[in-house]
Structure 1
Amino acid sequence: MVYHASDARAALRQAGDGTPAPARATGQAAPAEYVPFPDVPPHSTGDGGRTWFARGQNLVVGYTEVADETTVALPAGPDEHALLLPEDTVGAVVETGGERTEIAGHTLTFLPPGAAEITLRGRGRAVTLGTTRCAELAARAVNADSYATAHPHVTPLTPWPEPVGGHRVRTYRLDVPGLENPPFRIFRCSSFMVNVPHRRSGPRDTTRLSPHTHDDFEQFSLVIDGDYTHHLRWPWTTDLSEWREDQHLTCQAPSLTVIPPTVVHTSQGTGAGVNHLLDLFSPPRADFSRMPGWVLNADDYPMPDQG
């Protein structure tokens, strides 16, 4: 990992519990998955909005453009769903487990396992999350064929302990400060982690990029505003035929990039206006979770050694 000295992530190597790092599997990592939503067919469309789904190994991401009122129905599965409303201009009514809950905009809500019907109202965007352990949800992904065979290096999802007090609708406001540098706002449930950084204006300082890699999990980078370049470098293996060229993937909002494990990567905001990228991980990241104060709802969702 290479972080600027002022970046709090520079302390991650010292934040472990003393256990050795997992052994890295042999063989080359998979290609990155890139889904530019406006350029692929939506899963559903209507006067009130359009919805797309894309997936990685463990996580399914839904993206909805809300023009008036539209409904997103999420099928029942063994894990929680999430609803992210990044703007105040879109609110929702969620029906799950026989209960009806109104949810304001600019929030992140975790929903209990089971089916959920989400009615979105307003004008803006909404993001839904669920796991691929729900086969019906996974099949909706426009890139489902890419995961007909499991990708190498990715650890299968084993959910963390249930939340304190059991599963229920839990809503968190996004108007909280979070970390200062990096400007992260991190939340987790039992099956995945959501990082909603503060929005950035203008291009990223190219002298303060953060190339790093993950041994055994994918990083989902969801661009909801602006323009980014994902710089990707695959490690060399002993087999020359497996080597891949570096990629400098230009991504515009709205789009999803799934970055494979073992790939060195950093994301550079390049737009002149607002640039906003969300990071998603499944299962939740243990290294982030061990850092005091990083996960804003840690008291609600225990780690495996606390369960």
Structure 2
Amino acid sequence: MAYDKSDARAALAPAAAAKPSTGLIAESQLATFYDTAADVDDTNGKSWFVRGQNFVLVQSEAQPGGTFARKDQADEYVVLLLEAGAAIIADGVIKVLQGNTIAFVPPGDSSVTLPEGGRFFRMFTSQSPDLVAQCPNADAYDVPRTHIPEFQAWPTPKDGWKLRHYSLDVAKEPGRFGRIFRCTTFMVNILDPWDGPRDTTKMSPHHHDEFEQGSLVLEGMYSHHLRWPWTTDMADWRDDVEVKVGAPSAFVIPPPVVHTSRATGAGRNAMVDIFCPPRQDFSAKSGWVLNADDYPMPDISE
């Protein structure tokens, strides 16, 4: 991993050196919501779907009063509200939330209603086959991808299931990387926005050995750069890739591909990183996960 000294991730403990494992690496997955037709278009609004191996990301543009319900939801899911507010019902309890909020919705029956309409995002695990089936790339992982372990949720909160929500209005703090929140199924990092293009002398090429990363572009323009590792099997080798995208868009980066993203827009550029399940290394950094007290970490000694 290569981080500029100004990057908070430079303080992460270096991973143990290991020979890259051979075998088929998952393909990256790209969804450009801004220039493709919606996958669902009904009286509640328009929705676009894309999946990774472990998760499904849904962007919705709700009509005023549009309601998006889940019945018998298997596990916890994420609602990311930006400009628009919403009323969320879970376990028979209703909470009215303003924009600039992230919410974690418990398993079971729930609904999200946007009284004034607007754009919002939801994140589900791929344990919801009905949502996977709505993804244009639903079959992208039909061939097993052994670099990513089987999904396993993190421990249930000690005080039980309930709707939890947090404001994204969090001041930037030296030494902390973005604004990170986690639940039992996801870790979401709302990265600090870039004003103008990113400095090309301060890039951050790195890789993950066994988890994928979703990069959700909210504003501006980005270039995602990918480099496949040279294993002992030349069948694993690929040419370097640069993927140029606008907003909103989503890009799923498979392990162990080396990657870095560069903001390229002249104005404000904003992106969110998505991990399913949460990351151990970020969780181990004191003060990085802003709601760490609400969600226990797994005991990795077991």
Partner AA of 2:30 in structure 1: Y
Partner AA of 1:53 in structure 2: F
| Number of positions where the alignment pairs a residue of Structure 1 with one of Structure 2 | 301
CA apart distance, 1:22: 8.0
After superposition, the Cα gap between the structure-2 partners of 1:11 and 1:100, relative to the gap in structure 1 and judged at 3 Å, is same
Aligned to 1:210: 204
1:117 and 2:111 correspond: yes
Partner AA of 2:28 in structure 1: A
CA distance in 2, matches of 1:22, 1:279: 25
Q: Which runs of 5 or more residues in structure 1 are unaligned?
A: none
Aligned to 2:255: 261
Compute the TM-score of the two structures, normalised by the length of structure 1: 0.91
> Equivalent residues in 2 for 1:1-307 (5 A)?
1-13=1-13, 25-46=21-42, 49-66=45-62, 68-87=64-83, 90-122=84-116, 124-180=118-174, 183-305=177-299
- Give the CA RMSD over aligned residues: 2.1
CA distance in 1, matches of 2:20, 2:56: 25
Preserved CA contact (<8 Å) 2:66 2:117: no
CA distance in 2, matches of 1:242, 1:282: 24
CA distance in 2, matches of 1:213, 1:179: 25
Q: Percent identity?
A: 47
CA distance in 2, matches of 1:232, 1:154: 18
CA apart distance, 1:139: 1.7
What is the CA deviation profile of residues 115-169 of structure 1, one whole-angstrom value per residue up to 9, with x for unaligned ones?
Answer: 3221113354201111111212222222112122333301221111111311100
What is the CA deviation profile of residues 177-235 of structure 1, one whole-angstrom value per residue up to 9, with x for unaligned ones?
Answer: 25435650000001110001122211111111100000000000001111100000001
Preserved CA contact (<8 Å) 2:226 2:240: yes
After superposition, the Cα gap between the structure-2 partners of 1:277 and 1:102, relative to the gap in structure 1 and judged at 3 Å, is same
CA apart distance, 1:76: 2.9
SS at match of 2:12: helix
Partner AA of 1:58 in structure 2: N
After superposition, the Cα gap between the structure-2 partners of 1:115 and 1:276, relative to the gap in structure 1 and judged at 3 Å, is same
Compute the TM-score of the two structures, normalised by the length of structure 2: 0.92
